[in-house]
Structure 1
Amino acid sequence: MTHTMKMIEKCEVSPPPGSVPSTTIPLAFFDLPWLCCPPLKRIFFYHFPHSSKHFFQTLLPTLKHSLSLTLQHFYPFSSNLVFPPKSNPPHILYTQADSISFTVAESSADFISLVSDSPKDITVLHPFVPVLPPSQTLEDGTFLIPLMAIQVTVMPRSGFTICITFRHVVADGRAFHHFMKFWASICKFNGDLGLASLALPLHNRDIIQDPTGLKHIFLQELSNLLPENVESMGEIRDVPCDMVRQTFVLSHDQVVKLKKWVSVECKSHGLELPHLTTFVVTCSLIWVCKVKSEEIKTGNLLPSNDESYILAFMADCRNRLEFSIPLEYFGNCLVCGNAEVKRSKLVGGNGILEAAIAIGSEVRNLQRGTFEGAETLMSNFTEFATLGKHMTIIAGSPNLEVYETDFGWGKPKRSEVVHADNSGFISLSDCREKEGRIEVGLALQKIQMKKFSTILEEHLTEFGVLLTRKVYSYELP
């Protein structure tokens, strides 16, 4: 069914006049690798059973005003990424003329269908996504790239969406969701910062220590990167016509059973117990199901069983004693982990156990207090581009508490990572309904998605049966 999308307004929202002086923010070594990353796109769906007129007259002004107040503290989002002439390093610059592109639209799309768990055509969310404004080139050759754009779309008498497109170089997931919750809280409490009671972001880059000179190394690797290439990354891509996205929810009980099953299997095989967290076991299950589902996708023409498959994921360095970086730090503060397993092991009888051991081991490595994961950030982007189907990237995290983003109209009915719209991504999130549940989102070709869903259901059923037998057998004298 074709849905109409009507543009109502396009405007600019900036911090309150005079509230933020012109400010230059250098890029830390944590930020530099993300220059190579396509824009990130996150959408929030909210229930709103009223007319468009009511939305435009009551909610929209509040959204804009609270956004302006929020940008006073999160001004880098309304700034530009600057590439100076003469090979000087790029940086972020805020001037008092800067603002965020803010689009308002009205859609005839079916809100209930959009927030459901059922598979949806991959393009169905694209009209809700704002496009970043074009770059500017100044007379002296300085290149300016905008960092964020926002689109609010109302679906009359059912709901509305807030969708944000932003460049990863300015902020990682934790910094972005700090911004979103701050904006939501300011909106909910009508501009009262005291009632909103959220910590202010910390913009001081001096707290980022660089003992091994990673910034210099990364700048050398980026020396041939053209700003024009940064701007165009990820914006234009052909999407297969049969791709669908779907959300799967794992219950708290299912996750607990999965942890117990991995623990029992380790004892059974005389193996060291891996770092057993919800993240580790969830990623293990979904990764194995995805690899197994590829058989139907490729018509049995599978790659060699000896080929390595990689699961890439990010770990936050904030709030760790050895780094002294507070949770409120604004910017990027991620290291990268790569769990590597042969395909034959992933699709074998102990695939989930093999995956859990590899992922758990990599998580442990990243917690040892070194910047080992940071050193590989730049090279990982080359691998992402060259390994293709053999690399899967985890986007998001349940720890970011996406569903706590309440603008005053309740929790989101749904939130999705729109840029995770190809088979190279798996998105993870907390769940709206109950604590302890995990939302898993992925995009696959339609026939592969059906296969994936079947394999996932079979595994979840199997765990309960096998766990009951094995736990019982271990309890025998």
Structure 2
Amino acid sequence: MADTLKVIEQCEVSPPPGSVPSTSIPLTFFDLPWLCCPPLKRIFFYNFPYSTQHFFQTLLPTLKNSLSLTLQHFFPFSSNLVFPPKPNPPHIVYTQPHSVSFTVAQSSADFITLVSDSPKDVTALHPFVPVLPPPQTLEDGTFFIPIMAIQVTVMPHSGFTICITFRHAAADGRAFHHFMKFWASVCKSNGDLGLASIALPLHNRDIIQDPKGLKHIFLQKLLNFLPENVESKGEIRDVPSDMVRHTFVFSHEHVEKLKRWVSIKCKSHGLELPHITTFVVTSALIWFCKVKSEEIKSATVLANNDESYILAFMADCRNRPEFSIPVEYFGNCLVCGNAEVKRSKLVGENGILEAAIAIGSEVRHLQHGTFEGAETLMSNFTEFATLGKHMTIIAGSPNLEVYETDFGWGKPKKSDVVHVDNSGTISLSDCRDKEGRIEVGLALQKIQMKKFSTILEEHLTEIRVLD
């Protein structure tokens, strides 16, 4: 029998009355390129072996109250993206009683299956994903687009999910997970902000320096990017019927042996030792396996081995000494790195090594080049949107500590980036049991996923026997 989902309540949650004045927040050059990005979707699964009625009586009121108290400090999430008539720039506006759409539902889906790492149909998570409210247009053409929606779904006697859809132009992953941990901390302390242990966010956009005038350049490029284009990127797209998502877990031993393997290979080939980190070697292995697994899709893939393949990833500029941007800064603060390798090299005998060198070099470049990755943000996102190139995008980071989001009933049983439904995206995160383990999530068509898994296991076996 097919899983069923029943919406039990649809409401709005806003900051406490009078707690937030009407506020307008400008978008910085870090924020503007993300207007071209579809909304992000992150889901958290929690154990709850009780009835729906028990959930409604005990947890739901605390969840709503703590969310309201949290939105007092993270009010941009209950705001709107505003596109005034040209040439006025888009910005974020909060006015009372702006709120976040909050949906409560009940599902007959099997909780144990959903939290397993085994392959599952990508559509399995779609019923849990909240839809952003529709935009509004004023008579003068001003366009208002809601920024966040939340859905809580109960699976009786097993668990429940919290799933959030939000627009990247308002906040990056660091800011979003700051919000989630703050909400969790307030909930765990039963609404006592004095006991909540998470720092307050910093909303001052003046600390973002723009010596290269990138905001003006990006605004000019966005002039023909209509607000309707932003809204059209809001919903879950159709995906192939045989698409599956899979979570792969790398142990600390896997990662350390992979680092050593890359180091030995570099020396044996007389190559410069790249920036060898957990991120570099894990991304290199996954990228290699993904591209290698494409060989079975179509013979046309093999037609031009000189085409460039790109791995795009983000680097956080917070807490870097040259910028003086604190880790609590709320907004976007990312630059983009592009590791580029010719296909013939990437799928060759030394493909993992070639990938590691390219990624490591780009990581090192971003660490030493002030805002250099920022200059290409807009053009990168244009390419991401069209996917005209052979591009893979890394979403998330183990450093965000997703599994530390404890609302008072323990760590998440699982957390997924729902938007890896786009097979051009791979997610990285920490693991529930820590111990240096890394979770990698991706979605591919079934036959390619099987090939990917085989290639990955072959290389992990080779690396595992390294003394």
Q: TM-score normalised to the size of structure 2?
A: 0.98
Structure 1: 4+ residue segments shifted above 3 A: 385-389
Letter of the 2:412 counterpart: P
C-alpha distance in 1 between matches for 2:242 and 2:299: 16
Give the superposition deviation at 1:86: 3.6
Task: State the Cα deviation string for residues 374-398 of structure 1 (Å, max 9, x = none).
Answer: 0000000122234446100000100
C-alpha distance in 1 between matches for 2:300 and 2:409: 49
C-alpha distance in 2 between matches for 1:275 and 1:86: 45
Give the superposition deviation at 1:238: 2.1
SS at match of 1:193: coil
Aligned to 2:425: 425
Letter of the 1:272 counterpart: E
SS at match of 1:380: helix
C-alpha distance in 1 between matches for 2:331 and 2:426: 23
> Does 1:357 find its partner at 2:385?
no
Letter of the 1:183 counterpart: W
Task: State the Cα deviation string for residues 366-417 of structure 1 (Å, max 9, x = none).
Answer: 0014111000000001222344461000001000000000000100010000
Give 5+ residue unaligned stretches, structure 1: 469-477
Aligned to 2:166: 166
SS at match of 1:419: helix
C-alpha distance in 1 between matches for 2:432 and 2:22: 39
C-alpha distance in 2 between matches for 1:69 and 1:2: 38
Note the 1:31-430 alignment, pairs <5 A.
31-235=31-235, 237-298=237-298, 301-388=301-388, 390-430=390-430
C-alpha distance in 2 between matches for 1:166 and 1:296: 35
Letter of the 2:374 counterpart: A
Task: State the Cα deviation string for residues 249-307 of structure 1 (Å, max 9, x = none).
Answer: 00000000000001111111111110011000000000000111111222575341111
CA contact (8 A) 2:132 2:234 kept: no
CA contact (8 A) 1:322 1:369 kept: no
Letter of the 2:82 counterpart: V
SS at match of 1:312: strand
Distance change >3 Å, CA 303–CA 61, structure 1 → 2: farther
SS at match of 1:19: coil
Percent identical pairs in the alignment equals: 85
Task: State the Cα deviation string for residues 73-109 of structure 1 (Å, max 9, x = none).
Answer: 0000000001112420000000012000000000000
C-alpha distance in 2 between matches for 1:417 and 1:232: 20
SS at match of 2:29: coil
C-alpha distance in 2 between matches for 1:340 and 1:69: 45
Larger deviation, residues 427-436 vs 178-187:
427-436
Give 5+ residue unaligned stretches, structure 2: none
Give the superposition deviation at 1:196: 1.4
C-alpha distance in 2 between matches for 1:15 and 1:181: 17
Task: State the Cα deviation string for residues 208-263 of structure 1 (Å, max 9, x = none).
Answer: 00000000000000011111111111525221000000000000000000000011
Give the superposition deviation at 1:26: 0.4
C-alpha distance in 2 between matches for 1:306 and 1:463: 28
CA contact (8 A) 2:36 2:385 kept: no
SS at match of 2:87: coil
SS at match of 1:373: helix
Task: State the Cα deviation string for residues 173-224 of structure 1 (Å, max 9, x = none).
Answer: 0000000000000000111222212110000000000000000000000011
CA contact (8 A) 1:135 1:143 kept: yes
C-alpha distance in 2 between matches for 1:302 and 1:236: 31
Distance change >3 Å, CA 8–CA 364, structure 1 → 2: same
C-alpha distance in 1 between matches for 2:178 and 2:224: 33
SS at match of 2:443: strand
Task: State the Cα deviation string for residues 432-475 of structure 1 (Å, max 9, x = none).
Answer: 0132000000000000001101110110010133x33xxxxxxx
Larger deviation, residues 333-342 vs 382-391:
382-391
Task: State the Cα deviation string for residues 108-130 of structure 1 (Å, max 9, x = none).
Answer: 00000000011000101000000
Task: State the Cα deviation string for residues 115-150 of structure 1 (Å, max 9, x = none).
Answer: 001100010100000000000112332110000000
C-alpha distance in 2 between matches for 1:301 and 1:346: 13
C-alpha distance in 2 between matches for 1:338 and 1:107: 41
C-alpha distance in 1 between matches for 2:254 and 2:19: 49
Letter of the 1:322 counterpart: E
Task: State the Cα deviation string for residues 5-50 of structure 1 (Å, max 9, x = none).
Answer: 0000000000000000000000001000000000000000000000
CA contact (8 A) 2:42 2:415 kept: yes
Aligned to 1:3: 3
CA contact (8 A) 2:421 2:443 kept: yes
Distance change >3 Å, CA 375–CA 53, structure 1 → 2: same
C-alpha distance in 2 between matches for 1:435 and 1:410: 17
